[in-house]
Structure 1
Amino acid sequence: MTGEPRCEISGDLLRITLARPDKANAMRGRDMAVVLEALEAVAAGRTARAVLIEGEGRNFCAGADLVSANPPGGDRPPIGTMVRSLNTVAHRVIQTLWDLPVPTVAAVQGRAAAFGLNLALATDFVVAAESATFGYPFAQRGFTADSGATYLLPRLIGVARAKQMLIRGTVVTAPRALEWGLIGEVVPDGELTEAAARLAVELAAGPTFVHGLTKAMISDHLTSDLPRALAAEARTVELSLRGDDFKEGIRAFLGRRPPRFTGH
């Protein structure tokens, strides 16, 4: 289908490219379904050990394509349609990406807005071009945020700043986003593709089983207390010590050589 995301496996890396540059990579339902299918294959352990999400052209992703979903002059959808459609595709994409047991990277240039911004924030590492911008136009369009915005944003930048973005519609530049903790790295525009790919390849070559366990604990402990976090860490250390990557890490350390991790 024209403009559908490209999902390509290169070695241990799944590279997802949003491919509607003429629409700022705004995503239709079928585009989200393609991404979801690729992510679910990774979650099942069938394809890759890391994921890189990027956008073709000048922008990362301007959000969901509301015009395609609600054409002018079309019939008003029945009550409950939006709830069903969000839970069927868009929210499943965010949840699957958030829970993915391998490292994930987003390479952001131009606009990252609404669903597109949440898609980036649900990854583990956001690398942004200096000219990138981040924003939520929900309130300015007369509706509330979805796809994880009210969960992800306060945890990353705090309640006051989240309200600036979600209620006032404040658009944040890449340097400010880095300062606020919204993203992890800013690079010159011309270096974005290489920098994000380099990080993704590095992560794919790492102890991805351990990375997955660490990700799960970080997510769980956002709403936990210290005693439960410590107990979970003890259990997880026990589990990771039984993996092949731990044995390889020790062999590499003793042999004074770089480890060759397999994710097992």
Structure 2
Amino acid sequence: MTTPVLIAEDAEGVRTLTLNRPESFNSLTVELKEALLAALTAAGADAAVRAVVLTGAGKAFCAGQDLKEHVALLRADDPAPLSTVERHYNPIVEAITGMPKPVIAAVNGMAAGAGASFAYACDLRIAADSARFLMAFANVGLTADSGAAWTLPRLIGYGRAMEMMLLAKPVTAEEALRIGMVGQVLPAAEVLPAARAVAARMAAGPTTAYAMIKEAMLASAGGTLGEGLAAEGRTQAHAGGTADHREAVEAFVAKREPRFAGR
């Protein structure tokens, strides 16, 4: 049997998506990119899935583009390498950021190029103490893709992001925590269980409100104050009409824990 390049597992309302090419540090072939995009789209549409964890098999999270496949296509004058940003990378990032539920990156090891960009696009990041983040696009004569030019400066600031891009300067897990790139750093064996625990807690929470928070944050990140206020007004009106909001208020008045249904 052929080993799947992507593994999906469900538990407690959480879908874990594991990039499964450990022998190649989970580098991104066309097959893996298409599988990941399909899996993210399916998770977003599945009401039973209330949070998503993205991780990698083996010692790496994702080494970015599979350059062996890439160079073979270039040598064959195949147009696929030049269209993969539009066909794969952009839709994957849009699927993560537009997912109406939390997406947590369990960065179990090296995250480079598009792989690191996918982690930046996630809502939360938990990294192994052995993890490294590397933006080496310039080393292969390319510019940023997969949303990194937008997401990374918003995580760590323009200056630090420019250093990573221009100098291909790797960032250790400890430094990533210090500058706000990740929220937690743990021993490698603890990263996936911790990410799943956070995801399970959120899956039991007011997931419609989480979706509205994501929408408001995304709309506000690149907009004016007025646009941000409008996004907050729109999403707050939506969240305020949910059963979860009413349940939370009733629970507060009754001095009990709320029981959220995600609607």
Cα distance, 1:133–1:235 mapped onto 2, change above 3 Å: same
Distance 2:58 2:200 in 1: 22
Q: Which residue does 1:127 correspond to in 2?
A: 126
Distance 1:95 1:232 in 2: 18
Do the aligned partners of 1:29 and 1:90 also contact (CA within 8 Å) in 2? no
User: Within the alignment, does 1:236 sit opposite 2:235 as a pair?
Assistant: yes
Distance 1:137 1:160 in 2: 16
User: Helix, strand or coil for the counterpart of 2:200?
Assistant: helix
What is the Cα-based RMSD across aligned positions, in Å? 1.8
- Counterpart of 1:51, as a letter, is V
Report the CA distance between 1:163 and its aligned residue: 1.1
Q: Which residue does 1:142 correspond to in 2?
A: 141
Distance 1:75 1:192 in 2: 40
Q: Which residue does 2:247 correspond to in 1?
A: 248
- Counterpart of 1:229, as a letter, is G
Report the CA distance between 1:148 and its aligned residue: 1.1
User: Helix, strand or coil for the counterpart of 2:60?
Assistant: coil
Question: How many residues get paired?
Answer: 262
Report the CA distance between 1:75 and its aligned residue: 1.5
Distance 1:58 1:175 in 2: 18
Q: Which residue does 1:217 correspond to in 2?
A: 216
Q: Which residue does 1:175 correspond to in 2?
A: 174
Report the CA distance between 1:181 and its aligned residue: 1.5
Distance 1:125 1:139 in 2: 27
Cα distance, 1:4–1:239 mapped onto 2, change above 3 Å: same
Q: Which residue does 1:202 correspond to in 2?
A: 201
Cα distance, 1:143–1:234 mapped onto 2, change above 3 Å: closer
Distance 2:73 2:249 in 1: 62
Report the CA distance between 1:155 and its aligned residue: 1.5
Cα distance, 1:188–1:44 mapped onto 2, change above 3 Å: same
Q: Which residue does 1:263 correspond to in 2?
A: 262
- List gaps (5 residues or longer) in structure 2: none
Distance 1:122 1:248 in 2: 31
Do the aligned partners of 1:4 and 1:31 also contact (CA within 8 Å) in 2? yes
Note the alpha carbon deviations across 1:200-253, whole angstroms, 9 max, x for none: 111111101000011111111112222332233233222211101112112322
Do the aligned partners of 2:74 and 2:81 also contact (CA within 8 Å) in 1? no
Q: How does 1:9-88 map to 2 (within 5 A)?
A: 9-71=10-72, 74-78=75-79, 81-88=80-87
User: Helix, strand or coil for the counterpart of 1:153?
Assistant: helix
Report the CA distance between 1:47 and its aligned residue: 4.2
Distance 2:165 2:179 in 1: 15
Q: Which residue does 1:190 correspond to in 2?
A: 189
Do the aligned partners of 2:212 and 2:236 also contact (CA within 8 Å) in 1? no
Distance 1:38 1:30 in 2: 12
User: Helix, strand or coil for the counterpart of 1:100?
Assistant: coil
Cα distance, 1:72–1:242 mapped onto 2, change above 3 Å: closer
% identical equivalent positions: 36
Deviates more, 1:46-55 or 1:227-236: 227-236
- Counterpart of 1:258, as a letter, is E
- Counterpart of 2:50, as a letter, is R
Do the aligned partners of 1:41 and 1:47 also contact (CA within 8 Å) in 2? no
Report the CA distance between 1:3 and its aligned residue: 4.2
Q: Segments of 4+ in structure 1 off by > 4 A?
A: none
Deviates more, 1:151-160 or 1:54-63: 151-160
Compute the TM-score of the two structures, normalised by the length of structure 2: 0.93
Report the CA distance between 1:100 and its aligned residue: 0.8
Q: Which residue does 2:93 correspond to in 1?
A: 94
- Counterpart of 2:61, as a letter, is F
- Counterpart of 1:44, as a letter, is A
Q: Which residue does 1:108 correspond to in 2?
A: 107
Distance 2:189 2:207 in 1: 29
Distance 1:235 1:153 in 2: 27
